[in-house]
Structure 1
Amino acid sequence: MRHDEIKRKLDELEGKITKISMEYSRLVETLNLLKDKIERVNSDFDALIKEALLILYLLKRDLDQD
């Protein structure tokens, strides 16, 4: 291989590596956003369950008093 051919192939390889690196960074960012959303939904769901349990407890208590 000639020097300019090697340089061209190295430049192509560098371009591919840069593209993959950028795609990987975007994927990590997307996954982190998804993780944050899942954590928020999980927290909201936990709060909803606690509220529902409290309501059920109060209803049961009221029924037991009757």
Structure 2
Amino acid sequence: MTDEQIVEAAIEIAGEFYAMQGYSHRPGFKYWESPHPQEQLMWRMACRAFETLRGTDPEDALSNIE
């Protein structure tokens, strides 16, 4: 996967976690830029899931494309 694909996949995972809590996911939403603690948490959870399952850190991928 490219860095862009990794970040996009992590955004989708964050969106799934967010939706599970009754919120609406906005495709492409940059959870890491949000001032809202719940949205920040969704990003951190998605990153942890990605690291655990794929051994890849979306934060690293994000740094590479910013």
* Greater RCO (CA < 8 Å, at least 6 residues apart): 2
Normalising by structure 2, we get a TM-score of 0.32
Structure 1 or 2, whichever has the larger Rg, is: 1
- Structure 1 or 2: larger helix share? 1
When normalised by structure 1's length, the TM-score is: 0.32
